[in-house]
Structure 1
Amino acid sequence: MAVSPTVDPAETPDLAAFDPQSGSRVERVLFNNRLIVVCLCVVMTLILGWQASALRLNASFEKTIPRQHPFIAAYMEHQQDLRGLGNAVRIVVSNGGRSIYEAAYLDTLRQINDAVFLTPGVDRSSMKSLWTPNTRWIGVTEDGMDGGPVIPDGYDGSPASLGQLRVNVARSGEIGQIVALDGTSSALYVPLLSALPDGAPFDYAAFSQKLEEIRQRFERPGLTLHVTGFAKIVGDLIDGLREVLLFLAVAIVITTVCVLWFTRCVRSTALVVVSSMTAVVWQLGLLPTLGMALDPYSILVPFLVFAIGMSHGAQKMNGIMQDIGRGAHKYIAARLTFRRLFLAGLTALLADAVGFAVLLVIDIQVIRELAIAASLGVAVLIFTNLILLPILLSYTGVSAAAAARSLKTDNARQTTGVKHPVWAFLDRFTRRDGAVAAVLGGAALAVVGLWGAEGLKIGDLDPGAPELRPDSRYNRDVAYINAHYGASSDVFAVMVETKGEGSCARYEALRRLDALEWELRQLEGVETTNSLAQLNRDVLSGLNEANPKWVELIKNQAMLNFVTAGAPRGLYNEACTLLTLFVYLKDHKADTLDRVVARVERFAADNDTADIRFRLAAGSAGIEAATNIVVKQAWRQMLYLVYGAVMLLSFVTFRSWRAVLVAVLPLMLTSVLAEALMVWLGMGVKVATLPVIALGVGIGVDYALYILSVTLAMMRAGMGLSEAYYRALIFTGKVVILTGVTLAAAVATWAFSDIKFQADMGILLAFMFLWNMVGALVLLPALAYLLLPGGKPVRHAEGHAPSSPPSSPPAASALSTP
């Protein structure tokens, strides 16, 4: 951006005396064609507003998993043989503490089974319950081995039929899986398709609503339905959209009221809000244009765009108010503010956009789409808040009272020579004692933060869905199922590939599978396992009057072939080249998954051969383990890239490595403390929380760039650090405090949301808003004293300014060339 000579508004109070050809080429093109720019923005808002009406809110299970990870690649390779081990829900029908072997209960269960079976999106061939034909029993009778469907042929609800059903269930091995351990409830396992038969994407909101309709239709006193699974979590989050939007609206109102209180000017406050909301409309309109939708994890991005817009908009508004207060015409004030703050604002927004864009390196589609959505939103702010807002204010100006009030603090200091108590306090950090104290205090906090962040875990830390409150219906359903079933819905599946058709029944393959299964059963967090090797042991024992001495895997190929021929197809594939080891976990906590993964990988390293290969992983827990690994790898990489981008852009702006450190070190302290806060709040680093760390860095750099750019400009104009920092506080620091406190207060209200994900994000964002503000006001001047050339104060009477301080901030020439 070309620079222009400094223009003092006090010297050019009249529009006639102002040269419209002054300023950079960008400034001349924009402000000399103001009406065209406004009309283009209005047209763009109408077009993208219409496009935004087509925006959908949905989610996709496939988008939340890292498709390129070896675990997921192995699962995808065998997906057709492992149907039902991906996205699924579990519906448990409880008979209110009574036995399920009642005709009325079983009839209701059949009706529920039929209703779920006919629901769009259900993978019907893999669905399993007492009423599906793939739930079978195997037993030893007087005639030898026998088997059949669990629901006996000719079932009529009579006592004899119920008695036979009880026997069949006992023989099926489904107690603890399909039937509760205490026999008071039974489950429907419902795998889901990734897309409907007509090619339409799976609609989680519609599916969740259908489940709730089934729940309301069949629940009655003494009979309840408990539903768990990814689809239900997403459905509940989407159902909570109204509450999310309500809190977003409250946050916007709080922000607007606080800005209005600060300015006492309705017209300028309205324009700041309108320009920020225009950015949100543009962002939401661009998403469907690019074929994207919002999901529960990116629903907060529009507010972040609004918050960033309010921060930049308030800076522009404040600069214009001050120039008008010094006597400048509103058109001149708008152009001067554009000159002074455009470069700092552009750098800050580019840092925000790049900070969000680095999330694209994470191989999880939902995070990549969030990164695109956030980057688009920040990019449009360049047009709506850096360009459109100053142009609109050049037409409307601000009220005379607001303009005079904006200079009240500075005028009082000019008259009395004494700084406002707040500015006098902050000025202490530009002097030796205060700077050293601030830096040592920051270092101590960094040490405490690093120590606290040591306990930060990857993945979920609690059973159930951490996105929802512990007392939510979903998490109460999870607690019920975990208490009544030996096999939880957290299934970890190990795939054992064998070479050659029919090779899965060979003794060597089953022996190695049996050895791994035995090791996994000893691990903490593993409740039970199931495999073809275990079935061989059970059948051999059954053929010998259930003698425990015969619970063995014998080296008799004919016997192994016999058992395999009658085994459920889920234990091996059609060609008998793949065995599946099902590991049922107590929960899906990060520590539990880490133990299982480590044990299987160690076993595979020792036991893989040319003909037998153990591969991870399928099942809900296996997929989550892969996701945790990707998040862990991306976590630090993301931070390095974010800070690398911010440091590079800061260096391009300031051309000084010392200034870069002054701007970035406070952000790093906030990141460290935020991670410690996550440990204290019991939050893990996962798909839902990982982006917030990057978002906090991107938003926080705005404060530092605005204050530091003005401070450096004043120092280059010949002021000492103390006076330069004071001028920066008067010009931009007030708005930094305003936006920091206002936005923190706005998002802090989210802590009362019933959706724990939103509550956690609100607490984290409020913390980051406040600490980034504190860092910019306290640590930045202290670091400037220690690191910047000329940081030592010029010798003046303590607490007093130079005899002839400049009456206004410098223009673009002083700000754009460090």
Structure 2
Amino acid sequence: MSSHRQNRAGLLERLIFNNRPVVILLCLLATLFLAWQASQIRPSTSFEKMIPLEHPYIQNMIEYRDDLANLGNTVRIAVAVKQGDIFNAQYMETLRQIHDEVFYINGVDRSALKSLWSPSVRWTEVTEEGFDGGEVIPQSYDGSRASLDELRSNILKSGQVGRLVANDFRSSIVDVPLLEVFADPEDQSRLLNLDYREFSHALEEKIRDKYQAQDPNVEIHIVGFAKKVGDLIDGLVAVVMFFGVAFLITMVLLYLFTHCSRSTAAVLITTLIAVIWQLGLMNLAGFGIDPYSMLVPFLIFAIGISHGVQKINGIAQQSSGTDSPLTAARLTFRQLFLPGMIAILADAVGFITLLIIDIGVIHELAIGASIGVAVIVFTNLILLPVAISYLGISKRAVQLSKQYAASNHPFWRLLSNFANPVVAPISVVLALVVAIGAFWYQKENLQIGDLDQGAPELRPDSRYNQDNDYIIRHYSTSSDVLVVMVKTGAEGCSAHQTLSAIDELMWKMDNTPGVQSAVSLVSVSKQVIKGMNEGSLKWETLSRNQDVLNSSIARAEGLYNNACSLAPVLIFLEDHKAATLKRVTAEVEAFAAQYNRDGLEFLLASGNAGIEAATNEVIASSELTILILVYLCVAGMCLITFRSIAATICIVLPLILTSILGNALMAFLGIGMKVATLPVIALGVGIGVDYGIYIYSRLESFLRAGLPLQEAYYETLKSTGKAVLFTGLCLAVGVATWMFSAIKFQADMGLMLTFMFIVNMFGALWLLPALARFLISPQRLAGKEGGSLFAH
């Protein structure tokens, strides 16, 4: 390079390009080490990572976890018959074998495992001689017709119809409570964490596949948090396939853009290195891949391609005026390193704001994405220009770049009219109208939480959702359970005032839309008191005699703790839709506000519906905060970079419009704001700001050269607009492949990100110059060197 150009080179540029072999060697060593680390990363999640641990509902659940047996992480296995009913010897033998098989699966809380074969499942009846009872399946059971008739009678007297036994007697449940941490069966001194994928596969191989093949008349249906997460983790294989498809699409489009196989390979390889580094560093930090963070490598690949395209585009333009690839690479580095660095910092800030959401999987997603964008600084901003300084750009690509720079472009000339003084006001008014309409629509229609039955993360026709639908249709107690904890003093759960208040709550819940039924020790107490009075319905009420009440709850096993200081009320819901959870929890909280006093408290919440309700509240309280923080941080970065409030407004307002439109699209498509979709908004803003920063930085440089706004924008489009347009379309096509995923939340994220990539790109190309027409004064910028970190 000439001495003039050398003198203008900054310290970082000289440090990198004067030591290119060292830079490449260090990156090679880091890649080898981190590739080995990345190969060690494994699918990993836990029940506690998926819930907001600091929410009052979850704090209550954790505090009284030991008193709430079987109300946390539970799987339900429905063993059904295709023909006939469960009262035949072959079915009962199959059920016994399944019960025993499940007993020995790692992670099962064996002391609380329950099915018809459990000794704890008992029947009770009132006879002329008093109460009589026993195990539902007695010790004398031998599979004979007499034994099966006795079994039928015992089930009818047990109160398990609709709970452990289907209403139509064509299936029964094996209730499987799980332990997050358990002793290694081979070494009791060593503790193991529950592996959801392994547990899910064990249920498929040892239960579903084995027993459906063994008895053609048997069907197995399995639901529960662990099974759902296991199915999501299995979707990782499909994610790898989609990554491969996105890679191939990007490679083809990138070659069509660059017309150079060397630069195409350089961009793809350096971006893959970024993904490898991100995965390796995640493993070093002790994180695994969970159903949500498995999408981060896609995002890192997308961001890397975005910055890589800008670098290759710049190097191709610089190569037309220089003879040396090194000079072109250095000039491009000098011109684009700061805009790229600021864009990456804006990306990272957008991801880091997700840390305010009190959910472990979101924390890991935010950390993983932040690590990923940090490594892009080294791979795509430093390593890529260094690699191109050796490889160079093909002569054909350089020639095409020269022809492109020298020719007139009707398409860009047409788009430059967005900066026209006549068109710009129309664009601003149109954007304002669209923003107001979309904001009103999303405010009226966007809901927090799930909007469908079953597992909305999976397709409606997935096996899990079909299993869930079966259980909802055949049982009175659904898989969606909200647990209210009634806290009293020691031995206070059987007091008349406590039982009377619980009875009032149950009546209120039974008459709340969305509730199937409610069960508590009051349910047992009333039945026992009725039984002690010859079964007369007149006596199916709570006695005021304390001795009678104490006796009546003696058989309510599992519905109060050992100290009789906590009694759960189990509220079975029709679904866990956002509206249902909000309605039911609001009713319980209103009831608690009225009835809570010293010695009696109604506490929310446990059960899977309680966890969902807590998660929805965290999402609702975090949504606006995250958006405000993202925009404040992005605006702050732009303000520091351009030292101009007007420039900051020009970059940020198109992003705000995209966020509003994104929320409106979610409402229109029936996608709720939840753990899987909330990060999309922050991710979309973080990636979308790249477009605005690159466009405005070039626009400002042309304005400083003295060009009028519309002409400056035309030159900006010729130099940077091509790369921005290509990047937006390329990224959109890449993530659009997610829409074909079997995992519905991945498909939803693919759709949302595709929309945000395209709209962010269009907003930067359309609305940014229109705003500049009103906010930027070309006369003030003309001839000035100061005012921007990009000025030399």
TM range (shorter): over 0.9
Contact 2:642–2:787 (8 Å) recurs in 1: no
Counterpart contact for 1:709–1:815, Cα < 8 Å? no
Q: Distance in 1 between matches of 2:458 and 2:760?
A: 28
Per the alignment, residue 10 of structure 1 pairs with none
Q: CA 1:294–1:811 in structure 2 vs 1: closer, same or farther (change >3 Å)?
A: farther
In structure 1, the residue matched to 2:191 is: 199
Q: 1:487 to 1:508 in 2, by over 3 A?
A: same
**Deviation string for 1:683-723 (max 9, x for gaps)?**
11111111111100000000000000111121122111112
1:97 offset after TM fit, Å?
A: 4.2
Aligned 8 A contact 1:716 1:814 in 2: no
Is 2:487 the partner of 1:497?
Answer: yes
Partner of 1:522 in structure 2? 511
Counting only pairs closer than 5 Å after superposition, residues 215-614 of structure 1 correspond to structure 2 as 215-219=208-212, 220-413=215-408, 420-454=409-443, 455-499=445-489, 501-568=490-557, 570-614=558-602
Match of 1:803 in 2: none
Choose from 725, 734, 748 the match for 1:760.
748
1:196: Cα distance to partner?
A: 2.9
Evaluate the alpha carbon distance shift between residue 729 and residue 221 of structure 1 in structure 2; reply closer, same or farther with a 3 A threshold.
same
Aligned to 2:451, the other structure's residue is in SS state coil
Q: Greater CA deviation, 721-730 or 362-371? A: 721-730
Looking at structure 1, the residues matched to 594 and 621 of structure 2 have their Cα atoms a distance apart, in angstroms, of: 25
Query: Aligned AA for 2:465?
Result: N
Structure 1: how far apart are the matches of 2:85 and 2:33? 61
In 2: Cα distance, 1:44 partner to 1:399 partner: 29
Report the CA distance between 1:295 and its aligned residue. Answer: 0.4
Shift of 1:328: 4.4
1: distance between equivalents of 2:104 and 2:752? 43
Counterpart residue number, 1:182: 168
Whole-angstrom CA distance in 2 between matches of 1:544 and 1:788: 88
Deviation at 1:637, TM superposition (A): 0.9
Query: For residue 800 of structure 1, what is the aligned residue in structure 2?
Result: none
Q: What amino acid sits opposite 1:441 in the alignment?
A: L
Give the partner amino acid of 1:757: F
Residue 137 of structure 1 is matched in structure 2 by 123
Change (3 A) 1:336 1:813: farther
Alignment of 1:702-741 (within 5 A): 702-741=690-729
Single out whichever of 291-300 and 434-443 deviates more from structure 2: 434-443
Deviation by residue 1:425-448 (Cα, 9 ceiling, x = unmatched): 111111122111211221122122
Alignment match, 2:150: 164
| Structure 2, unpaired ranges of 5+ | 184-189
The alignment-based identity, stated in percent, is 51
Deviates more, 1:581-590 or 1:150-159: 150-159
Instruction: Please show how residues 742-781 of structure 1 align to structure 2 within 5 Å.
Output: 742-781=730-769
Q: What secondary structure is seen at the aligned counterpart in 1 of 2:679?
A: helix
2:202 to 204, 210, 228: 210
For 1:49, the aligned partner's letter is: A
Deviation at 1:815, TM superposition (A): 5.8
CA distance in 1, matches of 2:131, 2:426: 82
Unaligned runs of 5+ residues in structure 1 are 1-14, 414-419, 795-805
Count of aligned residue pairs for this structure pair: 782
The letter for the 1-side match of 2:309 is A
Q: Structure 1 residues 655 and 811, CA, compared in 2 at 3 Å: closer, same or farther? A: closer
AA at the equivalent of 2:608: S
Q: Distance in 1 between matches of 2:137 and 2:401?
A: 80
The 2-side partners of 1:401 and 1:59 are apart by: 50
CA displacement at 1:18 relative to structure 2: 6.2
> In structure 2, what is the Cα distance between the partners aligned to 1:146 and 1:563?
14
Could you tell me whether the CA contact under 8 Å between 1:89 and 1:231 is conserved in 2? yes
C-alpha offsets along residues 768-810 of structure 1, whole Å, 9 cap, x if unaligned? 110001001001111111111238999xxxxxxxxxxx9xxx9
Aligned to 1:697: 685
Amino acid across the alignment from 1:677: L
Output the CA distance in 1 between the equivalents of 2:230 and 2:87. 32
The match for 2:187 is: none
Aligned mates of 2:649, 2:227 — CA distance in 1: 46
Distance in 1 between residues matched to 2:533 and 2:618, nearest whole Å: 48
- Opposite residue 520 of structure 1, the aligned amino acid is M
Counterparts in 2 of 1:811 and 1:179: CA distance versus 1, 3 Å: farther
Aligned residue for 1:504, secondary structure, equals coil
Once residues 392 and 576 of structure 2 are traced to their aligned partners in structure 1, the CA distance between those partners, rounded to angstroms, is 58
In structure 1, C-alpha distance between the alignment counterparts of 2:167 and 2:474, rounded to whole Å: 6
Using the alignment, how far apart are the partners of 2:107 and 2:201 within structure 1? 13
1:53 maps to 39
Q: 2 CA distance for matches of 1:210 and 1:237?
A: 15
Q: Could you tell me which residue of structure 2 aligns to residue 38 of structure 1?
A: 24
Q: Is the 8 A contact 1:179 1:186 kept in 2?
A: yes
AA aligned to 1:545 is: E
Q: Distance in 2 between matches of 1:658 and 1:251?
A: 37
Instruction: Give how far 1:610 is off.
Output: 0.7
Report the equivalent of 1:3: none
TM-score by length of 2: 0.96
SS of the equivalent of 1:781 reads helix
Most deviating of 742-751 and 626-635:
742-751
Write the mapping of 1:616-627 to structure 2, written as runs, cut at 5 A. 616-627=604-615
- Check the 8 A contact 1:325/1:404 in 2, yes or no: yes
Aligned to 1:29: 15
Change (3 A) 1:770 1:486: same
Amino acid at match of 1:713: S
Query: Does the residue aligned with 1:148 lie in a helix, a strand or coil?
Result: strand
- Distance (Å, rounded) in 2 between the aligned partners of 1:613 and 1:287: 44
**What is aligned with 2:64?**
78
Partner of 2:648 in structure 1? Answer: 660
Aligned pairs for 1:2-151 within 5 A: 15=1, 19-151=5-137
1:548 to partner: Cα distance:
2.0
Q: Distance in 1 between matches of 2:412 and 2:738?
A: 31
Structure 2 CA distance for aligned equivalents of residues 480 and 323 of structure 1: 65
Cα distance between partner residues in 2 of 1:653 and 1:792? 18
User: Does the C-alpha gap of structure 1 residues 777 and 407 become closer, same or farther in structure 2, counting only changes over 3 Å?
Assistant: farther
Query: Does structure 2 conserve the Cα–Cα contact (< 8 Å) formed by 1:493 and 1:581?
Result: yes
Counterpart AA for 1:216: D
- CA separation in 2, counterparts of 1:115 and 1:400? 68
Q: Secondary structure at the match of 2:407?
A: helix
Deviations 1:322-364 (A, max 9, x none): 1101234211111111111111111100010011011111110
Cα 1:324–1:814 change in 2 (3 A) is farther
Please say if residues 572 and 580 of structure 1, whose CA atoms lie closer than 8 Å, have aligned partners that are also in contact.
yes
Q: Whole-Å Cα distance in 2 between the matches of residues 817 and 325 of structure 1?
A: 23
Q: Which amino acid aligns with 1:356?
A: F
How far apart are residue 248 of structure 1 and its match? Answer: 1.4
Which has the higher mean CA deviation after the structures are superposed, 387-396 or 446-455? Answer: 446-455
Amino acid at match of 1:207: F
Shift of residue 600, structure 1, vs aligned partner:
0.8
Query: How many angstroms does 1:238 deviate by?
Result: 1.8
Corresponding residue for residue 186 of structure 2: none
Give the deviation of 1:814 after TM superposition. 7.0
Letter of the 1:266 counterpart: S
Q: Distance in 1 between matches of 2:725 and 2:352?
A: 27
What are the Cα deviations for residues 477-503 of structure 1, in whole angstroms up to 9, with x where unaligned? 11111110111011110001101x211
Q: Deviations over 1:648-668 (max 9, x none)?
A: 101001111111110011111
RMSD across aligned C-alpha pairs, in angstroms?
1.8
- Is the contact between residue 58 and residue 293 of structure 1 (CA under 8 Å) also seen in structure 2? yes
TM-score calculated relative to the size of structure 1: 0.93
